[in-house]
Amino acid sequence: MSETADYSKTAEPEAHAASHESGGSDIITHPYTPPSAYDLTNDPNCVALWRFENGALTVDSIGGNTLTNNNGVTANLVDFKEGSASADFLSASSKSFQINDSDLDDGFSFKGNDTNKEISVCSWFKAQSFPGIFNGLFSKYDIGNNKRSLQISVKNDGRFTVNIGISAGASAETIYSGGSLYTGMFYHYGFTYRHSDKSWQIVVWDDTAQFNVIYAFGSSTNTINIEDAAVSIGAAALRNGIPEQFWNGEIDRTVVLKDILTLDEMNSIRVGTS
């Protein structure tokens, strides 16, 4: 891949201000009072909840978005953040989860026929290494078929990175690439994007340090492209439908909503168990 990163929106791993492109700032001061748990089962905007439990790794406990297990992703019964297991990915064996666009439930955010065009994604993750340039967490991004929509990954230097598809999926804009994440540590990310005003926000929680090491927000220069590429978890992209740029480590409890979460709501989802 040759997408060019824009490093102008980097958030530092201490209390900081993140500025809107239109002006103003939000300050995060930590430590702060732990949020109350968010009950996803009572949220009608929750369109997918993958808990990655042993014996049910591919099951969506909210809807019918059952994943395909590519090359034997296994349950990790020792290293997890929610429930009793996480999904254990091995990049050298090209392990990932995938669901084709046509198999997504109606109303799933950024499905090819989506008219709402709002998305929030939250997930736990832990890397054992960063072997690729892009190490994929969540994507809807087929570079071979020019069907780029959304790619959430960590680069090989530890920068949390989000690319969106533009120009009818033929190219990409990096809306954020920053922070300094490490292997062997659990993090939780929240990401939102609204098509109508091109606004986005990102928060990343360091579970070892017990505070948010990234909070950034702004607006993309271009409008995101919505395509019918498959959704991948544990792969940064597809190339003509074949996943690549794999995660090496654990991913736990991944949720997708069809509305825009607030920072407080993303923090509450992190401590939830539903």
- pLDDT one-digit tens code per residue, 4-55: 333 233 333 333 333 333 333 333 444 455 677 788 888 999 999 999 999 9
Instruction: Name the 3-class secondary structure at 245.
Output: strand
Full set of structural domains in the chain with CATH: 7-13+47-271 (2.60.120.200)
Peptide bond preceding 13: is omega within 30 degrees of 0, i.e. cis?
no
Q: Which two tokens stand for residue 98?
A: 């995938």
| Mean pLDDT, residues 192-212 | 97
Q: How far apart are CA 114 and CA 118, in angstroms?
A: 9
What are the tens digits of pLDDT across the range 137-195?
999 999 999 999 999 999 999 999 999 999 999 999 999 999 999 999 999 999 999 99
Backbone dihedral region of 23: left (phi > 0), alpha (psi from -120 to 50 degrees) or beta?
left
Report in angstroms the alpha-carbon separations of 267 from 31, 54, 179, 192, 210: 13, 25, 18, 13, 12
List, for residues 107-122, the tens digit of each pLDDT value: 999 999 999 999 999 9
Any bridge partners for residue 176, and if so which?
A: 162
pTM: 0.88
- Inter-CA distances, 239 with 102, 146, 190, 230, 245, Å: 18, 9, 26, 11, 10
The predicted-structure confidence for 119-142, as pLDDT tens digits, reads as follows 999 999 999 999 999 999 999 999
d(CA 175, CA 7): 9
pLDDT at site 33: 58
